[in-house]
Amino acid sequence: MANLKTNVNSNILISDTMNLDRKRGSYMDKQVYTDYFFDEPAFNTHDGGYVALETPTTQQTPLAIPALAVPDSETVHEVSYTITAQESSAQLLPGKRTKTWGYNADILGRTIILQDGQDVHITLKNQLPELTTFHWHGLNVSGPIIDGGCHAPVYPGKSSKIDFTLHQQAATTWLHPHPCPSTAEQVWHGLAAAVIVKDKHEASLHLPRNYGVDDIPVVLQDRRFHEDNQLNYRADYDPDGVQGPTALINGTVNPYFDVTSQRLRLRLLDGANRREWRLHFSNDLPFTQIAGDGGLLPDAVDLTHLMITCAERAEIIVDFSQYHAGDEVVLYSDDTPLIHFRIHDFKADPEPLPTHLLDIQAPTVDPATPIRKVVMSGMDESVMLDGKKFDMQRIDAEQPMGQAQYWDITNTNDMTGGMVHPFHIHGTQFLVISRNGHAPYPNEHGYKDTVGVNPGETVRILVRFDLPGIYMYHCHIIEHEDGGMMAQIESYDTSKPQPTYKLMDMETLSKAFAAERGIPVSELWMAGMDSYAKMGMKM
């Protein structure tokens, strides 16, 4: 990150921790961070509508490890997948099975593996009773069609195909639906899958990568189970984000995991609609964060506590060397146990983890380039982005392709009583430059696509689009994005005439949803519509 320094305005403080981190390899005493970094008064536990997690009373069951998606064909240079969004049911609690949706699975989805440099061909099949889209959150692919935002519906019984060449470093990204304004409800039904990008550099490092054994995705979600163990999104609806008291980890209630290696790599994903996870292990066992949303951090960071906001990912390595067969280590969020790690015999791995992981070259910013201001305001139905609610037909901003630009993302919520809004941009990975002029948190020096913004805070990020297209950007509390806290930007190739894009419109989507549900449009209820209606605004 050294060259970040020269690019940042002189009023930005360069962090001590940044320098410390860089030099840490030479320190005998490793620095271990012990706080969550985010502003405590903004934690979701202070929300009026906060739903506390309950400690499960059902029997511990093995943590589900999503199966790997099987490619239709694969070579080093090319891979084809068929991804089917389907209706199903899953045994989540004793008794009745819960009706769920999933990608090639009963719930969540099979994990998709892609390699940097591959030509990727994906057939998207919709076997749900209603339209959906397939959004590749965190992949460097172009919008508005390939990235699967609201402009790319696949209707029930239909399929479509996307093709792209992936240029991206190793990272944990994910797939989820994005049909406006019903993203939140479709995610609540169970649609979400891990998409793991691999590359040569990551493969050369001494890190655990035996999928399902010492390298596992951990999708953190929460749900409320109603009568007969069923989900009822509308009954639980809250415009500030739907929550439930039961933690669901990879679709498992009250999971345990059998540890058979000294080190375990957890690819944590906050796949919840609204919940923040404040993670820590029993006995404050320190762990090492090696990656964020967009891949490896420049330097590994040692922590005892980690907070992730909606859609964020963190890859951590937990070292169980001080434990023995028969011991148990518990992962908590606040005070609620999430996963019980049952320690078994393992082979000692004396080789230390790498401390320097990745060289990051921040792109140079032309000082003449203005700083883009983005404002997230409101709570409940009043949420807006730049004082407006999202309009699929409106392009809110433009940025030349390949040009790096600072974006200042402001959360105008009150510092007392406000909330952290996780800000996300499609189709790119950005760098976090500063928070209110101060250094970013020690564990956010890598590429990111989602950043939590505290109330009263302005987070400066450095954004570049490498592909032309239309990209949505929004709060990732999913009810907030459905409720209109979202906008879209066009990235264009300055050497070519600007293309015109065919953008989706609300009328087409609501007619389709109504027809699929067999009701007149006037009876259609979709969470996001409510927010517009209550504000007297047209969708």
Integer CA distances (angstroms), 252 to 60, 145, 164, 256, in order: 9, 33, 33, 9
Q: Which helix (H) or strand (E) holds 432?
A: strand 431-435
Give how many residues touch ligand C2O by CB under 6 A.
10
Q: Which window, 16-24, 301-309, 315-323, 469-477, contacts ligand C2O (CB under 6 A)?
A: 469-477
The entry of Cu ion, ligand C2O, none that residue 477 binds, CB within 5 to 8 Å by partner kind: Cu ion
Cα distance between residue 318 and residue 264, in whole Å: 5
Residue 421 binds ligand C2O (CB under 6 A): no
* Binding residues for ligand C2O restricted to 517-536, rule: CB under 6 A: none
Backbone angles phi, psi at 346, to 5 degrees: -145, 160
Query: Least distance in Å: CB of 229 to ligand C2O?
Result: 27
Which does residue 472 touch among ligand C2O, Cu ion, none (CB within 5 to 8 A, set by kind)? ligand C2O
Does residue number 137 form part of the binding site for ligand C2O (CB under 6 A)?
A: yes
H-run or E-run covering 528: helix 527-534
- Under rule CB under 6 A, residue 151 binds ligand C2O: no
CA dist., res. 32 & res. 54, Å (int): 29
Quick one: CA dihedral 306, 310, 315, 321, positive or negative?
Answer: positive
Give 127's Cβ-side CA count (13 Å radius). Answer: 15
Chain centre to alpha carbon of residue 181: 18
Q: By C-beta, is 15 or 413 nearer to Cu ion?
A: 413
- Which residues, 6+ apart, have CB-to-CB distance to 428 below 8 Å? 140, 449, 463, 464, 465, 466, 471
Strand pairing class (450-453; 336-343): unpaired
> CB of 524: closest distance to ligand C2O in angstroms?
22
> Which amino acid is located at 486 in the chain?
M
Total count of residues recorded for the chain: 539
Task: Give the CB-nearest residue to ligand C2O.
Answer: 137
Residues facing 33 on adjacent strands: 303
Q: How far is the CB of 359 from ligand C2O (least distance, A)?
A: 28
Quick one: 150 or 249, whose CB is closer to ligand C2O? Answer: 150
Distance of CA 96 to the CA centre of its chain: 30
Task: Choose between 56 and 241: whose C-beta lies nearer to Cu ion.
Answer: 241
Q: What are the tokens at 293? A: 């949303």
Cβ of residue 453: shortest distance to Cu ion, in angstroms? Answer: 9
Q: Which does 480 bind (CB under 5 to 8 A by kind): Cu ion, ligand C2O, none?
A: Cu ion
Enclosing H/E stretch for 488: strand 486-492
As a whole number of angstroms, the distance between CA 391 and CA 504 comes to 10
Partner whose binding site includes residue 42, from Cu ion, ligand C2O, none (CB under 5 to 8 Å by kind): none
Which residues, 166 to 225, sit near ligand C2O by CB under 6 A? 176, 178
Q: How far is the CB of 194 from ligand C2O (least distance, A)?
A: 13
Tokens of 464: 């570049």
Residue pair 172/128 in contact by the 8 Å Cβ criterion: no
Kindly tell me which residue out of 24, 137, 278, 435 binds Cu ion, with binding defined by CB under 5 A: 137
| 280: contact with ligand C2O by CB under 6 A | no
- Amino acid 314 reads A
The DSSP call for residue 518 is: T
* CB of residue 445 to ligand C2O, shortest distance in Å: 22
Does residue 474 touch ligand C2O according to CB under 6 A? yes
C-alpha distance from residue 508 to each of 182, 394, 505, 512, 522 (Å): 14, 16, 6, 6, 14
Which one of 51, 220, 311, 360 is in contact with ligand C2O (CB under 6 A)?
311
Piece of the chain touching ligand C2O by CB under 6 A; list 9-17, 45-53, 375-383, 468-476: 468-476
Please identify, using beta-carbon distances, which residue of 443 and 488 lies nearer to ligand C2O. 488
Instruction: State in angstroms the smallest separation of the CB of 288 from ligand C2O.
Output: 26
Does the protein bind Cu ion through residue 475 (CB under 5 A)? yes
Question: Which of ligand C2O, Cu ion, none does residue 176 bind to, with CB < 5 to 8 Å depending on kind?
Answer: ligand C2O
Shortest Å, Cβ 30 to ligand C2O: 34
The residues facing 419 across adjacent strands are none
Cβ proximity to Cu ion: between 218 and 478 the closer is: 478
Find the shortest distance in angstroms from Cβ 139 to ligand C2O.
Answer: 11
Amino acid at 283: N
Binding footprint of ligand C2O on the chain (CB under 6 A): 135, 137, 176, 178, 311, 424, 426, 472, 474, 476
Binding footprint of Cu ion on the chain (CB under 5 A): 137, 421, 426, 475, 477, 480
